[in-house]
A and B are shown apart, each in its own frame.
Chain A
Amino acid sequence: MSQSLESYLFLSAALFSIGVYGLLARRNLVAILISLELILNSASINFLAFNKFCLADKAVGQVFAVFVIALAAAEVCIGLSLILLLYRKRGSINVDEAGELKG
């Protein structure tokens, strides 16, 4: 049986690990934002998988997934404007070069 709860959870675990790899390996801020999107998507797959296989009320997981999508939209909105601001200020979006707050 390929469409079981575990197959969805394995898939979202794989997406999450790929996202974490991108978060750690990439130095480009836009690429880091893309990796964050992958992580958020793995969370919504988990919500909907548990919604289908483990919950009696089928609206609960879908409501949480709606919240995840709305928060991702807000995050990208702020993140991209910060990235553009940083790019205009220093002509580069490498995270290693934005180290003013480094302690």
Chain B
Amino acid sequence: MSLADLVFIGIAAVTILGALMAVSFKNVFYNALSLILCLFGVACLFIYLNSEFLAIMEVIIYIGAIAVAIIFAIMLSRPMARETEKLEAAKISRSFVIAAFLFAGLCLTLHRTVWHAASPEGDYSMRMIGKALLGWGILPFEAVSLVLLVAIIGALLLAAGKERSS
């Protein structure tokens, strides 16, 4: 087994561990910090998948913007960081059974399907992504930018709603 494979297994373990901690800790603040660990593992996996651009985007947008926004929201609502949530044993076991069945079904399907393999060699460069975004992907690209604009305006309106009405 080569060094790259060992590192891959380590990264996969860190990702899964981060994800498990992100759902299992009762304090939301720890959940958000574990989410950052998990997202960093995913970014490392993206490098293994030859997509350096996506790895950088994952770190900048997911960790730099989304995770930090979640932490901001937790800190802004005062007692949330100190609160621990009471979890019912029945609900946990029910959710665990559903998730385990889902995982087993997915693994079975993955195992049985025959994938049509192609060569991993190819042009992964940012130039090709840009050409694709402004070529065949121009319509979804514009739609996504519209969605982002609407989301920003909506978030501003929602956050300012109380001050406007009073």
A interface residue numbers (CB < 8 A to B): 1-3, 5-11, 13-22, 24-28, 30-31, 33-35, 37-38, 41, 44-45, 48-49, 51-63, 65-67, 69-78, 80-85, 87-88, 93
Quick check: A2 and B80 within 8 Å, CB to CB? no
Given A25-B23, A38-B19, 5 new contacts (CB under 8 A): A49-B49, A62-B132, A63-B137, A73-B65, A84-B77
For A3, the closest partner residue in chain B by CB is B8
B interface residue numbers (CB < 8 A to A): 1, 4-5, 8-9, 12, 15-16, 19-20, 22-23, 28, 31-32, 35, 38-39, 42, 45-46, 48-51, 53-54, 57-58, 61-62, 65-66, 69-70, 73-74, 76-77, 80, 85, 87, 91-92, 94-96, 98-100, 102-103, 106-107, 110-111, 115-120, 122-124, 128-129, 131-133, 137, 140-141, 144, 147-148, 150-152, 154-155, 158-159, 161-162
